[in-house]
Structure 1
């Protein structure tokens, strides 16, 4: 069984990917791909990993888990998604490190599905916007209390990815920037599902629609219907062209108002992030989806 596991990151998805898979259950089912509802497995997987203390389950225990997750005996690929697979949002900056538990949790997930083909999927985001967004979700703590003595300029997604890769070097890892999602969403959906380029999912343009005016989306869909894109690159060029003209500015801009976070500091974090992204795109075992 192929097991595709979407890890988040926090606040980059809002369950959009797995909901997109559920909307396309019929298409997936025809190809032996199963996307169970998150309510069926999130607590189950967490509790099973805790009970096992991240060790491998017995063959019978693992089979019982699959019986709970997969109803179709002919299924060959299982899709799972949970932004809390690595940790809850309160612990994203545990020990002043970005996803300090990544290696430990990936080892646990790998052991849980030992003997099967595991793949991981992860969206990353600019720390300048990612950290304030996560902090806003942490209950009963201000940004300063949650952030503590962390040095944002020292945080690197490449370190997180290195820990994931070290925990399971044989498992492919697909990474993309959350900021690029509107332009690459159709490919993200296909890569996670493990289907060919020709498959057209319901909702493949829904992320683009969130940042493009209705008139623009109407014209965009009319254009691609009359001129079907031949490649992903061609499609993205068309999307970018329409977005350039019809983007909803308020949906793209992010306002930050944090003590000590000046415009120059935010720009510096963004520059460091861009350098980190370039490094990640070259990391062995990583498939990087770029616009």
Structure 2
């Protein structure tokens, strides 16, 4: 059996990926792929992972998880997807930076089903926009609580991934940038589901449809109907063209107003994020998806 964990991060797809997968439950179930509702495990999995403290889960623990999912077996692949599997928003930043619990949490998930193959999927997000997203998701928390003593400039992704790779040797880890997801959406959807790129699934336009006008979406669908893309590169190029022509500015423009944050700081954080993404893409053991 294979277990796929889509870990977020926060604010990277607004649960659209799991909703698209749920649209295809019947199609995927026929292939032995189970996509349970996140309601069944979004609190259970982190709680179990924390109590295990890195030890493999026993048969009783595994059965508790399977019973909570309410899925009729047998199945060959089980898909979990929720942006708080790594941490809740209020704990996403610690004194040492982003997602301090990520290595231990991922190691625990890898041990939930001993003997099963575990695959992990993670979208990165520019820390300059991640912090506002965390604040939106933790209404009870102040800016200082979210930052946990870290400075904005210290929020880097490369150290997080290095720690994960060190703690979970041989991990199957697929990473992409949330900013690139509109061009990668069909590939990411199928990678998490564990089906081939040519598999017909519902939801291929779920993200694009939120970023472009209704006129643009209709034009894009019509274009692909009359000009089926010959490969991934051609589909990405066509999608990029329609996004540029029909984009909804309010969906693409992000206004950042946080205490002490200047345009220069945001620019520096963005440049550091770009550096981290390039470093992560070159890390052995990481499968990095990029347009």
TM-score normalised over the length of structure 2: 0.93
Is residue 28 from structure 1 mapped to residue 8 from structure 2 by the alignment? Answer: no
Displacement after TM superposition at 1:171 (Å): 2.2
Which residue is equivalent to 2:214? 214
Give the whole-Å Cα distance in 2 for the aligned partners of 1:168 and 1:51.
Answer: 18
Give the whole-Å Cα distance in 1 for the aligned partners of 2:117 and 2:90.
Answer: 31
Aligned ranges for residues 1-291 of structure 1 at < 5 Å? 1-66=1-66, 68-69=68-69, 71-291=71-291
Match of 1:118, SS?
strand
Match of 2:4, SS?
strand
Deviations 1:13-58 (A, max 9, x none): 2222111111001221121111011122233323433443442222
CA contact (8 A) 2:90 2:145 kept: no
CA contact (8 A) 1:34 1:70 kept: no
Give the whole-Å Cα distance in 1 for the aligned partners of 2:50 and 2:128.
Answer: 33
| Deviating more after overlay: 137-146 vs 103-112 | 137-146
Segments of structure 2 that go 5 or more residues without pairing to the other structure are none
Once superposed, what is the RMSD of the aligned Cα atoms?
1.8
Deviations 1:49-74 (A, max 9, x none): 34434422223543453355474434
| Deviating more after overlay: 163-172 vs 117-126 | 163-172
Deviations 1:198-218 (A, max 9, x none): 112211111111111111111
CA contact (8 A) 1:119 1:172 kept: yes
Displacement after TM superposition at 1:6 (Å): 0.7
Give the whole-Å Cα distance in 2 for the aligned partners of 1:66 and 1:136.
Answer: 32
Segments of structure 1 that go 5 or more residues without pairing to the other structure are none
Number of equivalenced pairs: 291
Give the whole-Å Cα distance in 2 for the aligned partners of 1:215 and 1:253.
Answer: 20
CA contact (8 A) 1:185 1:204 kept: yes
Change (3 A) 1:142 1:72: closer
CA contact (8 A) 1:4 1:78 kept: yes
Give the whole-Å Cα distance in 2 for the aligned partners of 1:119 and 1:212.
Answer: 32
Deviations 1:111-169 (A, max 9, x none): 21221100000011111111122123323333244325312222221211122222322
Displacement after TM superposition at 1:11 (Å): 1.7
CA contact (8 A) 2:8 2:82 kept: yes
CA contact (8 A) 2:28 2:34 kept: yes
CA contact (8 A) 2:36 2:70 kept: yes
Displacement after TM superposition at 1:265 (Å): 1.4
Give the whole-Å Cα distance in 1 for the aligned partners of 2:65 and 2:262.
Answer: 49
CA contact (8 A) 1:121 1:175 kept: yes
Give the whole-Å Cα distance in 2 for the aligned partners of 1:159 and 1:194.
Answer: 28
CA contact (8 A) 2:94 2:148 kept: no
Change (3 A) 1:98 1:50: closer
